[in-house]
Each structure stands twice: as C-alpha cells, then as structure tokens.
Amino acid sequence: MNSMYNVCINARPKMKQFTITKKIAKHGDQAVIVIPRILQYELSPQTIVKLTIEVLEEIKNEKVQEEKNESKK
C-alpha cells in the first residue's frame, strides 16, 4: 500500500498580533507610544516586536513646526 503524507512541522509558535490605535504621547522631549496595561503580560520588557505606524490623523501644531525649524539650524 503506497501512501503519501504531507507533514508540516512548525517549530515556532504562532506569532501573536495586536492592533492598537493610540495618540502619540509626550515624555519630556520625546514622543512616545504607551502600551496599554491590558497587554502588559503579553508584551513584557525585553520582548521584541515589529511596529508599523500608520498615521490616521495628523495634528497641525505650531510648536512642533517651531521645534523642527530650530533643529534644522
């Protein structure tokens, strides 16, 4: 009896994926994205993630423009 088996062994567990819609926060001079507390156990410190940023709404801010102009000097 000839049988053919297709076996696929995936050594890596399935990657987790989350979609988060956030406003960019400010921490001192840095713009930051804060991870929601509900994901703290899924995304603990030292976890490596791939982050893609899609701008949904751009805020026009005169202060931001001034900072950009000063940094170019």
Burial 38-56 (b: 16+ CB within 10 A, else e): eeeeeeeeeeeeeeeeeee
Give the span between the Cα atoms of 24 and 34, in whole angstroms. Answer: 8
Give me the phi and psi of 70, to 5 degrees please.
Answer: -65, -35
Q: What is the pTM of this model?
A: 0.50
**What is the C-alpha separation between 32 and 30, in angstroms, rounded?**
6
* Rounded mean pLDDT for each run of 10 residues along the chain, 73 residues in total: 52 76 89 87 86 86 66 65
The pLDDT assigned to 7 comes to: 53
| pLDDT score for 40 | 83
